[in-house]
Amino acid sequence: MERRHFIKRAGAAVAVAGAVGGMLAACAPSTSNQNTSETTEKQETSTTNMENKEVIAHYVLFWLNDGLSEQEINDFANFFEELKTIPGIKSLHYGRAAQTHQRDVVDNSFTYNLLVYFDTMDDIDTYETHPIHLEAIEKYSKFWNKVVVHDSWLKQAVAD
């Protein structure tokens, strides 16, 4: 009886592996020599564009007020959820300070950080002056006692 279950499971696993293999093969680049130089040229151009691509990183650290409950600290995340609806944002990430190994160069004293990427200066200008941003600041600024902003042009580094 156990052998039958094993054979059924093994058969199902082989079927799944075959389906996955088929999907991977369909996604793999063609090995045909047709248009090989054109494909290589497009890949090189794409890689070159990726290496030269720059984005604006808007990095913000928030120190929340002492005496807030854990629920209030967690509710503060709604601030970031409101910001993500602003047009021009390429991506938005936020989170609490990680309790990494303590070293002289590590500062985990902040409560939350925010990282927003933009493609252009116009996009970050829109973000900074957008009514959603200004209203969210007015609504949530009662929670923090310190905010530090770092804006940088970042080059995208592609690993070889």
SS3 at position 93 = strand
What are the residue ranges of helices labelled H in 1-159?
2-27, 36-52, 70-75, 78-83, 121-129, 131-140
Q: 63-85, pLDDT tens digit by residue?
A: 999 999 999 999 999 999 999 99
Of 142 and 19, the one with more pLDDT: 142
pLDDT score, position 51: 54
pLDDT score, position 35: 47
Is residue 95 in a domain? yes
Sorting pLDDT into bands at 50, 70 and 90, what band is 156? Answer: confident
Provide DSSP, 3-38: HHHHHHHHHHHHHHHHHHHHHHHHHSPP--STTHHH
pLDDT score, position 2: 53
Is residue 92 in a domain? yes
pLDDT score, position 157: 77
Is residue 71 in a domain? yes
Q: What is the pTM of this model?
A: 0.65
pLDDT score, position 96: 95
Is residue 61 in a domain? yes
Is residue 5 in a domain? no
Is residue 118 in a domain? yes
Q: 88-111, pLDDT tens digit by residue?
A: 999 999 999 998 999 999 999 999
Q: Exposure of 137 by Cβ count < 10 A (0-12 exposed, 13-18 middle, 19+ buried)? A: middle
Number of domains in the chain: 1
> Rounded distance, CA 67 to CA 148, Å?
21
Cα dihedral sign, 78-80-86-92? negative
Q: 30-53, pLDDT tens digit by residue?
A: 444 444 444 445 444 444 444 568
pLDDT score, position 52: 62
Sorting pLDDT into bands at 50, 70 and 90, what band is 4? Answer: low
Is residue 23 in a domain? no
CATH of the domain at 133: 3.30.70.100
% of the chain residues with pLDDT over 90: 60
Is residue 110 in a domain? yes
> What residues make up the domain containing 118?
53-155
